[in-house]
Amino acid sequence: MRAGVPKKTLADAAGVLERIAPSKPSQPVLAHVYLEAVPGGLVMRATNGEVDLELLVPAEVEGSGAALVPAALFGQLVRSLPGEYAELRLGPEGLELEGGSFSTRIAVADPETFPPFPEPEGEKGKVAAEALAKALSRVRYAAAQEEYRAIFRGIQLEFDQDRFRAVATDGFRLALYDVPEGAGFSAKRVLPARSADELVRLVKDTAGPLELAAGEGRLWAKGERFQIALALMEGSFPDYERVIPERFVLEATLDAEALRQAIERLRVLADRQSQRIDLAFSEDGLELAAEGEYGRGRERVPAEIQGETPLVAAFNAQYLADALKGLKGALRFRLSGPATPSLLESEEEPGYRAVVVPLRV
Amino acid sequence: MRAGVPKKTLADAAGVLERIAPSKPSQPVLAHVYLEAVPGGLVMRATNGEVDLELLVPAEVEGSGAALVPAALFGQLVRSLPGEYAELRLGPEGLELEGGSFSTRIAVADPETFPPFPEPEGEKGKVAAEALAKALSRVRYAAAQEEYRAIFRGIQLEFDQDRFRAVATDGFRLALYDVPEGAGFSAKRVLPARSADELVRLVKDTAGPLELAAGEGRLWAKGERFQIALALMEGSFPDYERVIPERFVLEATLDAEALRQAIERLRVLADRQSQRIDLAFSEDGLELAAEGEYGRGRERVPAEIQGETPLVAAFNAQYLADALKGLKGALRFRLSGPATPSLLESEEEPGYRAVVVPLRV
């Protein structure tokens, strides 16, 4: 087989697959990219056991054939090719790759040894790619890094007829994002946060709908030129709805970025262990203060306050900064009390809500 | 004392000093920046025992006083200050730092405990700051990372009445850079490569002359608003002149960047241990080839050849790539034979010469 592909197209695909293919695989075959010539293009595939990804790369193809190429080497070679155009030729002695005045032949492995792409099963439906990427990336920070309950390292996707939601929590904070678009089916599935990251990277610049299939063990997503299968987490996600406060004693409206920047400044001075930062809400607005072994600092942030003032609550500065990251425009900071959960809502991103619990002081 | 400083000026100075001050110091006092109000500005100083740096930061100053502030904390705080202007006030309770609506007070330590800036001694002269930075950064790569002979981790500066030179070698390759400007004195001094890096960062954007003093144990450099003292290496630098070839059997003239890019591509395929890449010079030009466990590759690079063709020599691809890094325009690749040292010269940087020894094959 022979295939001609614009270099950039091939390099982009190889880069995405190289990230999936494990560099220290449990089975050597997983360090490869599966490459197959089909009419009109190249099918390229990688898997790490958790995430299976298949890309269709448009190419001028003659003949057919398949091979496994070392993922990292192939990626490096394709990226460094001179010229605009890459030519691939698969023969009995390996894969020849040419670009400009450069040519190479690399050893290939038997394509039959590569795991087949898992067949979609379960509930089927559709979501907008961009909305799914947005929802997952917005709540990602609240998933646990390490935790005795593995399920906290996941992001739950809740699909319904008229909306879908992404939600993550590590037991100390919670983030959720609602999209008012039906998926065409009802199901809850928990994705490992790292697999969700791959899905986000893949679809964030994709316009149009994704076809979904939610099986018991996997979630599939299919776009125009890719399909991805993500192994799901077992176990049930915590019953988080009860920690979302509904009654509030105070509501502050302020600029999300101004608040985040003040927190970032004061964090430097906060106690390293507790990361404590004090928020004092009064009729005049909000004053933040932090104190640690090196000194103390304070800063005023303009805020419109409604409710019972004065109110002082202490928070983990990191948690607040995470919840505010990337938010612009007006923020509603709603407190249910000095020691009970607070709710953050963004006027520019109405689907987003974050719950942060004050520190006990 | 009270001082007002544009935030950016203070942040830049704090950043430079923070890099010098060790984060895990042998003595706790070294993790601080020395800060002193003088008429017209702030003197700020840091040392790691190897490099002593003093900056004069222009400021509106009232009163006098000195203090030690934790280097990393001070840097972080100053960088994150809101607004354009920083105000510092030193009082009995610490250093107050204000910017915009943010204010902080940090604990300070006794300035008397900080090591004094070393007094310049030895031969005195001048060099152009830019030329010194260029010479040091051009030869830096050839200094050894780790080596049984510590002196290989240094860069030798050779000052003379009518020129100065920087030279580095790790025993396998050599780089030197000649500047046709006298320093006003004759002396050879070996700087630790890492200290040279600090000197380069400090002076690379400085126009005008640097005052130098070359003592037995230290090299001083003084600009308009800084002075730096660098501890020198002991021991004598190898007698490198004898490895610079003077007679050649072949000379190739080719584009430095085209050669480097071809080498970078082929490196991926080269044997990992030896990094071997073959250069075949013929009447038609240069063909490069590499072969390793995953396959092989080759590439032609246009070259004008004079001398005895054909000639094939093998090189360490990393060494060649290092020697070519950043070079533009025409390169003269001069070979004394297939197994004896080669010399690289740049037409655009006539002061630069690199010696690379072929691999034994």
Q: What local confidence, expressed as pLDDT, does residue A148 receive?
A: 66
Measured distance CA(B112)–CA(B115) in Å, rounded: 8
Measured distance CA(B52)–CA(B36) in Å, rounded: 16
Confidence of residue B238 (pLDDT cuts 50, 70, 90): very high
Candidate from A102, A106, A262 with C-beta closest to B102: A262
Query: pLDDT of chain A along its 361 residues, tens only?
Result: 999 999 999 999 999 999 999 989 999 999 999 999 999 999 999 999 999 999 999 999 999 999 999 999 999 999 999 999 999 999 988 999 999 999 999 999 999 999 999 999 999 999 999 999 999 999 999 999 876 678 999 999 999 999 999 999 998 899 999 999 999 999 999 999 999 999 999 998 888 899 999 999 999 999 999 999 999 999 999 999 999 999 999 999 999 999 999 999 999 999 999 999 999 999 999 999 999 998 999 999 999 999 999 999 999 999 999 999 999 999 999 999 999 999 999 999 999 999 999 998 7
Structure tokens at A157: 């996707």
Residues in B closer than 8 angstroms to A300, CB to CB, are: 101
- How far from the centroid of its chain's Cα atoms is residue A315's Cα? 26
pTM value is 0.87
| ipTM of the complex, rounded to two decimals | 0.80
Q: What local confidence, expressed as pLDDT, does residue A44 receive?
A: 98
Distance from CA of B294 to the nearest CA of A (A): 5
Residues in A closer than 8 angstroms to B68, CB to CB, are: none
Residues in A closer than 8 angstroms to B264, CB to CB, are: 80
Contact A157, A191 (CB under 8 A): yes
Digit-coded pLDDT (tens) for B181-236: 999 999 999 999 999 999 999 998 888 899 999 999 999 999 999 999 999 999 99
Q: What local confidence, expressed as pLDDT, does residue B148 receive?
A: 66
Confidence of residue B147 (pLDDT cuts 50, 70, 90): low
End-to-end CA distance of chain B: 70
Contacts of B242 (CB under 8 A, 6+ apart): none
Measured distance CA(A205)–CA(A202) in Å, rounded: 7
Distance from CA of B77 to the nearest CA of A (A): 7
Q: What local confidence, expressed as pLDDT, does residue B95 receive?
A: 97
Measured distance CA(B351)–CA(B177) in Å, rounded: 5
3-state secondary structure B157-207: EEECCCCEEEEEECCCEEEEEEECCCCCCCEEEEEEHHHHHHHHHHHCCCC
The chain B residues in contact with chain A (CB within 8 A) are 70, 73, 76-77, 80-82, 94, 100-107, 261-262, 264-266, 268-269, 293-301
Which carries the bigger pLDDT value, residue B178 or residue B294? B178
Structure tokens at B121: 């001694």
Closest by CA to A342, choosing from A361, A310, A316, is A316
| A33: three-class secondary structure by DSSP | strand
Long-range CB contacts (< 8 A, 24+ apart) of B323-329? Answer: B323/B141, B323/B142, B323/B173, B323/B175, B323/B354, B323/B356, B324/B256, B324/B257, B324/B259, B324/B260, B324/B263, B325/B141, B325/B260, B326/B138, B327/B256, B327/B257, B327/B260, B327/B352, B328/B256, B328/B257, B329/B255, B329/B256
Contacts of A205 (CB under 8 A, 6+ apart): none
| B138: three-class secondary structure by DSSP | helix
Q: How many CB atoms lie within 10 A of CB B116?
A: 10
DSSP B238: -
Q: What local confidence, expressed as pLDDT, does residue A205 receive?
A: 82
Q: Which residue of B has its CA nearest to A80?
A: B265
Digit-coded pLDDT (tens) for A130-158: 999 999 999 999 999 876 678 999 999 99
Digit-coded pLDDT (tens) for A324-335: 999 999 999 999
Domains assigned to chain A:
2-113 (3.10.150.10), 123-241 (3.10.150.10), 244-356 (3.10.150.10)
Q: Which residue of B has its CA nearest to A71?
A: B294
